[in-house]
Amino acid sequence: MSRLGLYIAVAVGGLALGAGLAWFTRPAPPPVGVEGASVGDPRPPFQHAALDGRQVHVDDFDDQLLLVNFWATWCAPCRREMPLLDQAQRTHGDQLTVLGIAIDDPGAVIEFLDSTPVSYPILVGSTDVVATQRAWGNAAGALPYTVLVDREGIIRWQHLGEVSEEELAEKLAAHGLSTPL
């Protein structure tokens, strides 16, 4: 076999091995009939750790207008929108609860919040938070992802990507929060 033939055989074999490994290690698809929640659906359950270690359950927010933001310290759009979310909490805190749920390491989140504090609660996790954001309608798994839940626990808005001040003000105004952010 010539040298070129040997290189081609090794390359083809490597590609075949790589494709086979990719096939067998791919994530399992969600079970048939199981999809994430959509606008108009009840909020799915969750339980995640707060930064102090206590467990927080979605039922802790019953009867509250809830803005849930999935984020990570390594996500630039997430970091950019945090001052807006913090302002929404400060402006409407008597009528709105903003909740950050970080897909991250608790140490990284604590370090980030030391330099960029927010006035709303932060929960943290890894694969459990990924599962929650999928259940809450983020099939893409991209960040940031924001969901508005009304006081009856019904999802009223889902947004993938960085939230603008105009978008957020419009959605909050639809729920009686018309004071500018």
What CATH architecture applies to the domain 3-173?
3-Layer(aba) Sandwich (3.40)
- The stretches of 25-161 forming alpha helices (DSSP H) are 76-92, 106-115, 127-135
- pLDDT (0 to 100) of residue 31: 41
Model pTM greater than 0.85?
A: no
Residue 33 has pLDDT above 70, yes or no: no
The residues spanned by each domain of the chain are 3-173
Percent of the chain with pLDDT over 70: 82
76-92 helix and 165-173 helix, angle to the nearest 10 degrees: 40
Dihedral (Cα; 122, 142, 155, 93), 10-degree rounding: 30
121-175, pLDDT tens digit by residue? 999 999 999 999 999 999 999 999 999 999 999 999 999 999 999 999 999 999 9
91-107, pLDDT tens digit by residue? 999 999 999 999 999 99
